[in-house]
Chains A and B, each alone.
Chain A
Amino acid sequence: MKNRLSKNILIVITILCGFLMVVSYVQSSVLEPVRYYAGYFLTPIQSGINRFGTTVSNRIREQRHLHEVYAENERLQGRLEVLTEENNRLRSDMLELERLRALYELDQDYMQYPKVAARVIARDSQKWFRVFRIDKGLADGITRDMNVLCGGGLVGIVTEVGANYATVRSIIDDESNVYAMSQYSSDTCLVQGNITAYEDGTLNITNIDKNAVFNDGDAVITSPLSTKFLPGILIGYASDISINSQHLTKSGKLIPVADFDNIQEVLVITQVKTEDGVVTPGDL
């Protein structure tokens, strides 16, 4: 037999991998140390190469858009004048709002969560799993289940942490479910990732009560019901809300605020939600 050695090796690999898969499927933390220590070797290389790659990519994009940018600049200069004036007016409004908010103790706004910025260093190359890796890890105070934001909206949650990296599963991944609610009516819903829906730039909203007040264009934020997501983070805006055929629930689409195709820098909220409420892991 010519290939006997290979066949034996293959049998060993099959048994070993089968065993490992079952073990890691049942108890996912068992093999985490392996990924953790591999991170020491891989992350610095990934970081460096990624910086190079993004620089090249950005240069090419810059060249392409230069003409558009000139034209846009002209137009925006005009807008700037108008907006500066408006901004001044709004600022005085905001001061008033802050005073009133303090008065009503309505400081649930997520802007107050402590955050650290991180750079996306690696991404799934094949679009099968919507996960990415960032260049901050345990050493920077990142732990599992921390929420990740980009462009003003929720993008995902940390699922695994190494010393100097963290893996983030984005909310457009099929395995992602987020308890959310309408900012306007506080009626709850479930935001689910779906690869086919994301092709149209949307996520699915399901499990809305049929009597709930949920309209197209409503801002959808994370709900206090969620066990892992901090309350009050903007996810996106509802659209195409309609009642289901069984007349029990309503469902629809959600247009996310974050641009998932072009994530380069993200913000990680350094607090996690536990049964005891919102805590900062370092203080435990």
Chain B
Amino acid sequence: MKLKVIAKRILIYFLLVVAAFILQTCVFPFLTFFAAVPNLILIITFSYGFIYGTEWGILCGLFAGLMMDLFYTEPFGLFVLIYSYLGFFSGLFSHTYRSDSIILPLLLCLVSEVFYNFAILAYRYMTIGELYFNYSLVHIIIPEIFFTLLVTLVVYRLLLAANRRMDRIDELRGQSAA
């Protein structure tokens, strides 16, 4: 890939993560008739890891974690760490990527969500000293996983369509330049 294309992609992914994050914190929580808020930045992270490989997964995870770290007052770096690992993990499966399959992305989404929520649960256990496992599972983790899976069905396809278009444009540009 050419440097210019890479730079363009990095910028686009960054803006996409920012947009998703703002939607996730400024709009969804205020719609009180939703039981939980889907974790959009997690969807972006694992999707790009899965489609383009570990490097891109880590990059998106880095952006996503950065947004979270900037928003919360928890120790800086906590979310960057979690999201980068998520991006890397889903990137490991990119060799099995097929554009028409939705089962594997859903599975990845499930695994990512479980890993993410349990990481935060562990962190909270370390800071507060109480686990509230059953409560967290029923009231926070399961609703969020459910909504995120549901949204993945739509968002993953949208991301895929947008990327395919972007890939084609880059390809055509490359050809005309050659």
Contact = CB atoms under 8 A, between A and B. Distances in A.
Contacts of B58: 6, 9-10, 13
Interface residues of B, number: 49
Contacts of A53: 26-28, 30-31
Contacts of A124: 25, 29, 72
A17 B78 contact: yes
Contacts of B150: none
Interface residues of A, number: 58
Nearest to A121: B26
Q: At the interface, is chain B mostly helix, strand, loop or mixed?
A: helix
Contacts of B57: 6
Contact of B70 (A13, A34, A121): A34
Contacts of A10: 58, 84-85, 88
A196 B92 contact: no
A262 B144 contact: no
B144 to A, nearest CB: 6
Contacts of A175: 127-128
A198 B146 CA distance: 22
Interface in B24-46: 24-33, 36-37, 39
Nearest to A261: B32
Interface in A3-37: 3, 5-7, 9-10, 13-14, 16-25, 28, 31, 34-35
Contact of A123 (B30, B85, B91): B30
Nearest to B82: A17
Contacts of B167: none
A129 to B, nearest CB: 6
Interface in A171-189: 174-175
Nearest to A47: B26
A257 B30 CA distance: 20
A21 B76 CA distance: 5
B78 A159 contact: no
Given A13-B81, A133-B71, A264-B30, A34 B76 contact: yes
A35 B54 CA distance: 28
Interface string A214-251: 00000000000000000000000000000000000000
Contacts of B76: 20-21, 23-24, 31, 34
A126 B37 CA distance: 6
Contact of B24 (A7, A125, A127, A199): A125
B124 A46 contact: no
Given A6-B88, A174-B124, A49 B77 contact: no
A108 interface: no
Contacts of A133: 25, 71
Interface string B54-84: 1101100010000000111111111011001
A268 interface: no
A153 to B, nearest CB: 19
B100 interface: no
Interface of A: 3, 5-7, 9-10, 13-14, 16-25, 28, 31, 34-35, 38, 42, 45-46, 49-50, 52-54, 56-57, 60-61, 121-129, 131, 133, 159-160, 167, 169, 174-175, 195-196, 199, 261-262, 264
Given A3-B54, A126-B36, 16 more contacts: A13-B81, A14-B81, A17-B81, A20-B77, A21-B76, A24-B75, A35-B70, A46-B25, A46-B26, A50-B27, A122-B22, A125-B25, A167-B73, A196-B132, A261-B32, A264-B30
Interface of B: 18, 22-33, 36-37, 39, 53-55, 57-58, 62, 70-78, 80-81, 84-85, 88, 91-92, 120, 124, 127-128, 130, 132, 135-136, 139-140, 144
Which 4 residue pairs spanning A and B have beta carbons closest together?
A: A53-B27, A17-B77, A6-B54, A20-B77
